[in-house]
Amino acid sequence: FSGPLHLANLLISAERDMGAAALAHLPAPTGIDASSWGGILRRMVRSRPFLWRNHRAAIEEGLLEPGQSAAISFPTGAGKSTLAELKIATALLRGQQVVFLAPTHALVAQTAKALQKTFNDASVIGDVDEEVVLSLELELPEIVVTTPERCLMLLAVQPGAFVGLGLVVFDECHLIHARPDDRSRRGLDSMLCLLNLTQAAPEADLLLLSAMMKNTAELAGWLKTLTGRDCLSLDLAWKPTRQARGCVVYDTTQLSQLNDQLRAARIAKPTQKSVPVGVKRGLSAVPFGFLGLRQTWNSTNRQDYALRALLDTPTLLSTSKGTNWYLTPNGNEVSTAIASGSVGAGMKTLVFVQSTIACAKCVREFAKHLTPQAVTLTDEEAAWRALVVEEMGGAEHCYLVVDDDGKVRTGAASHHALLLANERELHESLFKRKDGIHALFATSTLAQGMNLPSEVVIICGDSRFDPKADKLKQLEAHELLNAAGRAGRAGEGSQGFVLLVPSHVIGFDQAKSLIGKDWMDLRAIFEQSDQCLVIEDPMAAALDDIHNGITLTGPAAYLLGRLPVARVDGGLDPAEAMLKRSFCVYLKDKNGDSAWIHSRVASAVAARPPAAAAEVHWLGLVAASTGLSIELLQSLLALVDSGVLAGSASQATTALLAWVRQVPFRLMELVRPESLEGLFGDAYKKLASDHERAIEALDLIDKILPIWMSGVPLCDIEAVAEGKTAKLDYCVTARHFVTRVAPDLAFVAGLPARLLLARFAATAPDDEPEIPAVLATLGSMVREGCDSPEALAVRLDVGRTVSRVAARLKFEKARPYLAPLPPNEPFEATLERVRNAMAITAFLDLDAASSGPTEIV
C-alpha cells in the first residue's frame, strides 16, 4: 500500500528536521557548563520545545557567544523573546547580571513574571526604584526588569551598581525613536539610558529587540562602535503566524441613501446646529469587511481582496457636529458590535480604543449585544479583586463589575494606564484564561509588546486628536502595525484576524469594484511589513535646537541638564565624550558630515550650565544625574541646611511644596508636565502660562498629597479633589494622582536625602552618613502613601498581599506600642521596632482577656 509508505517517509523527514530543531538538543555556548545549561533548557522546553528557523540562523551566527551583541528586528510573534531568554541564560551562567528594559509598567510586570518562571533559581526584580532608603552602595539582583526612565534614575544615583552587568536587553527598542511634539521625553531618556549603561558597564553585551525596526543594520553598526565588539544585524521577515487584515467599509448604495436623509434634514432644518435625534436613529448600515488575502496590502488587484458582511444586522453610524452634517463612523459602537460577533463565534478579541473613557463605555455596552457566559474568579483573582476594592474604597469604584457571588458577567474588561497594578493583573488573568472573558478593550499602551491570547484584533480609528492642530491626525504606520501584531500568537493560535474601523466612513461599490479614497491612505500603511520604522535619534533635534540658540525650554534644555559636568582635573570632557557616542553622531560620521558633529557638540558643551566650583563639584554631579539645574539644587540644599525640613513627614512635604511655590515654575522642572495635565481638563491646558498651570496644580497637590499619605482609600482622595462625596465613579483624578503624579513627587521628596548623601560621599567618604530618618525615607513614604517611617515599615513588612489601606489599619493598631522615632534611626531598626509592636498586637488579639500593662518598644 502506498499510503503507509508515504506517511513513513514523511515521519522520517519530520524526525530528522524536528530533532535538529529541538531546543533540548541545543549545545552549550562557549564557557558554559553543559549540565547547568541543560537544566535551564529543560525548563524552557515546557513552553518552547522547538527552535524556529530564525532562531537557528541567529544562533548559528554566534548570538549566544560571549561578547556578541545584536539588533533583532523579527516581526511580532516571531520569537524574539526566545532568543532573549537564551541570551539571558548565558549571562546568568557566566555569573553576570542582566538589565531588561521594557517600555511600560504592564510589560515590566509581565516580563518579570515570565523570567522568574524560566529562571526560578535567579533573583528577578521588576522596577528598580523600590529601594526604601537611598544608600551609597546598592546591590542589584541577578535580573532587573524596569523601564528606561527608572533605570536612568538608578544609573544617575549609583552607576557603580552596574559594574557586574553582563547583558542589557531593550525590548520594544523603537521607544528611542524621535517623535515630534513628544512632551514625555521618553525617547531622550531611553537614549541617555543606553549611553549611560554602556559607559557604566562597557563589557556588557547589548540586545535590542523590536518588530518595528527598519534600519536594523544601522543600529547594529552603532552598537558595534559603543561596545568595540561585533554586533549582529538580524532582520528576517519570516514568522510562524499569518494574519488576515481588513477594514470596515459600507455599501455605497446604503451610504447614498443615508446622505440623502441628512441633506433632506438639513433643508428642513436650515438653522439647526445638530442633526435631529429622529434622523440620527435611522442612520444605520451593515458593516462589511474588506479583507486582504495576502499578508500585506501590496496589491490593488480586486482578486487579492474579499468582501464579507461582518454582522447580520446594521449598526448605527454617527454624524458630525456643527452646521456641516456628514456621516462619521461611530467607531466605538461599531467596534463593540463587531467584537460581540467574534466573541459569539468563540474567538478571543482585543479591541483598541482611543481613551480610558472609551474603554469603560465599551465594556458597559458590550454585554448589551450578547449574553456573556458567567466567569468565576479563581482564588488568586479573588484576592486581587479584594485588594483593589480595599484600595479604591468600594467595588463601585472598580472598572470591573463582579457580582456578589464572585462571578463576572460582563463578558469583557478594560486595560489602560489608570488601572491599579492588582486590577491590571486581574483583567489580564481573566482574558488569558480559556474559560475566562473573551473580550478586552484596551488603549494603545497594551500594543507595546504585551502578549495576550488574541485571535481577533479590532483597531478603533486610524487617527488621534492632535490638540495643537485642533484636528484628527493620522496615526503613524508603526503604531497601527504594532497594534495589529497582537493578533495571533505562536503556541496559542497560528492565525490572526485584524480589522480596522477607520476614522472616516469608507464606501465600496461592489458592482464597479470601486472603494473610497480614504482606503488608499490606509493601504499605504498596511502594504508595509512590521519592520516599517526608520529609528531616528531624539538627540539630533535637541542638538539642532541648542545650536540654534534654543536652550531654555523643551528637549534641548532637558538634554543640557543631563549632560555630565566637566572633570575637575581637566581631562576629556565627559559630556563631549557622551555626545560623540550617540546614534545621531554615528550616522553623521558615517555620512561624512564632520561639520555637523563638531558644531553641535561644541554648541552643547558651551551651552551646558556652568560647572560648580571644585569644593562643591559633587553638586554638579547630582545636577547631571537628575537633569535638574545647579541653581535649583543649590536652593534646595539651602532649604535642607536651614532645618525647615526637620520634623514629621507631613511637615517636610509641606515645607517642600512651599519652597516649590516660591517659584512655581519649579514644579514643571520637577514633575513631568504631561503627568500634571492628567489631573485636570481642557481648561488647565488652555491657561496662558506654565506659571498659572503650576499654581493650579500646586493648589490641588497641597490638598490631596497629605490625604494620600494618611493611608485612606482613593475614593476619599477623589472626594477632596472633586469637592463632592457622590458620583465619584472610577475616581479617575485619584487614580491619575497615585499612578502618575505620586511617583514624580516621590522623586522630589527623595532629593534632600540624595543631596545629603552626595555631600557626605564627597566631603567625608570614610564616615558613615547620618541622615534624619524622615528625610531618608521621605521619597518612599510619598510613593507608598505613608506619613511616617513606622507606617512605611508596616506597609513593606506586610507585603503586597495586603492593601495600602489595610496596612494602615495594622499600623494604627501597633502605634500605641511604638516608642518615639529616634532622629537618625536606620530603617532596619525601624522595621525591627515595628515588628515587635505588631507581635504585641497579634498576641493581644489571641489573648484578649489579658489586660495588664504593656511596655512600649
Model pLDDT for residues 131-167, shown as the tens digit of each residue: 555 555 567 889 999 999 888 878 877 778 888 899 9
Three-state SS string across 308-339, please?
EECCCCCEECEECCCCCCCEECCHHHHHHHHH
pLDDT of residue 615: 47
Does some domain include residue 810? yes
Beta carbons within 8 Å of 635's beta carbon, 6+ residues apart: 659
pLDDT of residue 447: 63
For the chain, how many structural domains are there in total? Answer: 4
What is the H or E stretch that residue 248 is in?
strand 242-251
Beta carbons within 8 Å of 857's beta carbon, 6+ residues apart: 817, 818, 819, 833, 836, 837, 840
DSSP 563-605: SPPPPTT--S-HHHHHHHTSHHHHHHHHTT-HHHHHHHHHHHH
Rounded-to-integer distance, Cα 199 and Cα 510, Å:
61
C-alpha cell at 33: 557548563
Same domain? 66 vs 128: yes
Same domain? 206 vs 297: no
Rounded-to-integer distance, Cα 248 and Cα 287, Å:
6
Does some domain include residue 855? no
Confidence category of residue 280, pLDDT binned at 50, 70, 90 = very high
Q: Could you tell me which residue, 325 or 389, shows the higher pLDDT? A: 389
For the segment 35-64, the average pLDDT, to the nearest whole number, is 90
Beta carbons within 8 Å of 305's beta carbon, 6+ residues apart: 290, 291, 292, 293
Same domain? 470 vs 569: no
Rounded-to-integer distance, Cα 213 and Cα 234, Å:
10
C-alpha cell at 325: 452634517
Last residue of a domain, one of 203, 234, 265: 234
Nearest to 819 by CA among 807, 837, 831: 837
pLDDT of residue 211: 87
Does some domain include residue 411? no
Same domain? 204 vs 267: no
Q: Do residues 149 and 175 lie in contact, with contact meaning Cβ atoms separated by under 8 Å?
A: no
Does some domain include residue 794? yes
Q: Do residues 817 and 157 lie in contact, with contact meaning Cβ atoms separated by under 8 Å?
A: no
pLDDT of residue 810: 95
The helix-helix angle for 649-662 and 690-709 (nearest 10°) equals 180
Q: What proportion of the chain, given as a percentage, has pLDDT over 70?
A: 93
Same domain? 18 vs 143: yes
Does some domain include residue 568? yes
Q: Do residues 485 and 449 lie in contact, with contact meaning Cβ atoms separated by under 8 Å?
A: no
Torsion of CA 328, 332, 338, 344, to 10 degrees: -160
For the segment 308-316, the average pLDDT, to the nearest whole number, is 93
For the segment 269-280, the average pLDDT, to the nearest whole number, is 88
Does some domain include residue 711? no
pLDDT of residue 701: 97
Confidence category of residue 558, pLDDT binned at 50, 70, 90 = confident
Same domain? 126 vs 23: yes
Beta carbons within 8 Å of 849's beta carbon, 6+ residues apart: none
Q: Centre a 10 Å sphere on the Cβ of residue 87 and count the other Cβ atoms it contains.
A: 25
Does some domain include residue 356? yes
Mean pLDDT of the chain, nearest integer: 88
Last residue of a domain, one of 471, 500, 526: 526
C-alpha cell at 137: 552602595
Residue with the three cell numbers 526608520 = 534
Q: What count of residues does the chain have? A: 857
Confidence category of residue 613, pLDDT binned at 50, 70, 90 = low
308 conformational bin, left if phi > 0, alpha if psi -120 to 50, beta if neither:
beta
Inform me whether the pLDDT recorded for 685 exceeds 60.
Answer: yes
Return the CATH number at 70.
Answer: 3.40.50.300
For the segment 393-414, the average pLDDT, to the nearest whole number, is 94
Torsions phi, psi of 350, nearest 5?
-110, 125
pLDDT of residue 543: 95
**76-127 residue pLDDT tens:** 778 888 999 999 999 999 999 999 999 888 788 889 988 998 898 888 887 6
Confidence category of residue 614, pLDDT binned at 50, 70, 90 = very low
Domain range spanning residue 792? 788-846
Q: Do residues 793 and 834 lie in contact, with contact meaning Cβ atoms separated by under 8 Å?
A: yes
**722-757 residue pLDDT tens:** 999 999 999 999 999 999 999 999 999 999 998 998
Same domain? 502 vs 543: no
For the segment 213-237, the average pLDDT, to the nearest whole number, is 94
Last residue of a domain, one of 496, 526, 556: 526
Same domain? 225 vs 253: no
Confidence category of residue 552, pLDDT binned at 50, 70, 90 = confident
For the segment 456-467, the average pLDDT, to the nearest whole number, is 79
C-alpha cell at 155: 544609573
Same domain? 519 vs 548: no
Confidence category of residue 631, pLDDT binned at 50, 70, 90 = confident
Q: Do residues 656 and 645 lie in contact, with contact meaning Cβ atoms separated by under 8 Å?
A: yes
pLDDT of residue 708: 97
Inform me whether the pLDDT recorded for 245 exceeds 50.
Answer: yes
Least confident of 51-65, 293-307, 458-472: 458-472
Same domain? 136 vs 42: yes
Supply the pTM of this predicted model.
Answer: 0.86
Rounded-to-integer distance, Cα 754 and Cα 622, Å:
8
Confidence category of residue 183, pLDDT binned at 50, 70, 90 = low
For the segment 385-404, the average pLDDT, to the nearest whole number, is 96
Inform me whether the pLDDT recorded for 593 exceeds 90.
Answer: yes
Least confident of 339-343, 414-418, 677-681: 677-681
SS3 18: helix
Q: Centre a 10 Å sphere on the Cβ of residue 769 and count the other Cβ atoms it contains.
A: 18
C-alpha cell at 839: 507581635
Rounded-to-integer distance, Cα 377 and Cα 588, Å:
56
pLDDT of residue 672: 87
Q: Do residues 696 and 687 lie in contact, with contact meaning Cβ atoms separated by under 8 Å?
A: yes
Confidence category of residue 236, pLDDT binned at 50, 70, 90 = confident
pLDDT of residue 233: 96
Inform me whether the pLDDT recorded for 849 exceeds 60.
Answer: no
- Burial of 142: CB neighbours in 10 Å, binned 0-12, 13-18, 19+: buried
Same domain? 113 vs 186: yes
**360-373 residue pLDDT tens:** 999 999 989 988 88
Nearest to 518 by CA among 798, 290, 269: 290
Return the CATH number at 263.
Answer: 3.40.50
Rounded-to-integer distance, Cα 388 and Cα 256, Å:
50
**501-549 residue pLDDT tens:** 999 999 999 888 888 888 888 888 888 777 888 999 999 999 999 999 9
Inform me whether the pLDDT recorded for 27 exceeds 50.
Answer: yes
Q: Classify strands 412-415 and 407-408 as parallel, antiparallel or unpaired.
A: unpaired
- Amino acid letter, residue 223: L
Inform me whether the pLDDT recorded for 425 exceeds 50.
Answer: yes
The number of angstroms, rounded, from the C-alpha of 570 to the middle of its chain's C-alpha atoms is 40
pLDDT of residue 250: 95
- Amino acid letter, residue 621: L
Rounded-to-integer distance, Cα 208 and Cα 462, Å:
28
Does some domain include residue 108? yes
Inform me whether the pLDDT recorded for 278 exceeds 60.
Answer: yes
Same domain? 79 vs 197: yes
Least confident of 259-263, 525-529, 555-559, 812-816: 525-529
